[in-house]
Amino acid sequence: MVSTQTVLLVLIGLGAGLALWTIVTFNRLIRRRNLMREGWSGIDVQLKRRHTLIPNLVETVKAYSRHEKLLLEKVAALRGGADDEDIPQRVTRENALTDQLKTLFALAEAYPDLKADRNYRQLMEQLADIEDQIQYARRYYNGAVRDYNIAAESFPSNLVAKLFSFPLAAFFQIETATQRAAPNVEMP
């Protein structure tokens, strides 16, 4: 026959084991969430770099294409979006900006003198570098989101995630401006 003291010790041991497991799982979720935030910070830095470069690019193109004012205004307006948007809103705005940049690149193709301009070439090289950095930062962020979401959805860690309100995170899917689908640009 099992004594009450033995049962009590087993229950205390199970309780302590459960508490320890909960603490370890909670800390693992916190670590993954912080890695995800670090990844988002990397994306944000690159997007800010791109937004800083765009006015210079727009001004350079303006000198060659005064009649394309509407396109340039759209690019400038999309660049000025709010930084405090949530990720799905930010993705939508950044993809719209990317589409306008594609059109801007196509416009530059129509002006051979512009492509030969040293300032324009330097700006385009910087933009290509920024787009590469955005891609790298996005990959890191999306990997961190994947790992976090797996931990938050997998049993039994999902129990801790639900208990302490760890919501699933959204991936950051954005096209790069260097992926040039042929935009429809009509020149007068």
* 153 assigned to some structural domain: yes
Residue pair 143/11 in contact by the 8 Å Cβ criterion: no
* 143 assigned to some structural domain: yes
Distance CA 45, CA 43 (A): 5
* 12 assigned to some structural domain: no
Q: How many domains does the chain have?
A: 1
Six-digit token pair at 90?
């930010």
Distance CA 167, CA 148 (A): 10
User: In the prediction, which pLDDT does 111 show?
Assistant: 67
Residue pair 60/126 in contact by the 8 Å Cβ criterion: no
- Give the model confidence (pLDDT) of 19-30 as tens digits: 999 999 999 999
* 188 assigned to some structural domain: no
Of 99, 179, 62, nearest to 131 by C-alpha is: 179
Q: 136 lies in which domain range?
A: 22-163
* 109 assigned to some structural domain: yes
- Categorize the per-residue pLDDT at 182 as very low, low, confident or very high, splitting at 50, 70 and 90: very low
Q: What are phi and psi of 43, to 5 degrees?
A: -65, -45
Q: In the chain, what percentage of residues exceed pLDDT 90? A: 40
User: Is the predicted pLDDT of residue 112 greater than 90, yes or no?
Assistant: no
User: In the prediction, which pLDDT does 69 show?
Assistant: 60
- Give the model confidence (pLDDT) of 168-178 as tens digits: 999 988 665 54
Distance CA 53, CA 114 (A): 17
| Average pLDDT rounded to a whole number, residues 109-129 | 75
Q: What are phi and psi of 14, to 5 degrees?
A: -65, -40
* 182 assigned to some structural domain: no
Residue 55 CA to chain centroid, in angstroms?
21
* 14 assigned to some structural domain: no
Cα–Cα distances in angstroms (integers) from residue 41 to residues 130, 134, 172, in the given order: 15, 11, 12
What CATH number did the domain enclosing 87 receive? 1.20.1440.20
* 145 assigned to some structural domain: yes
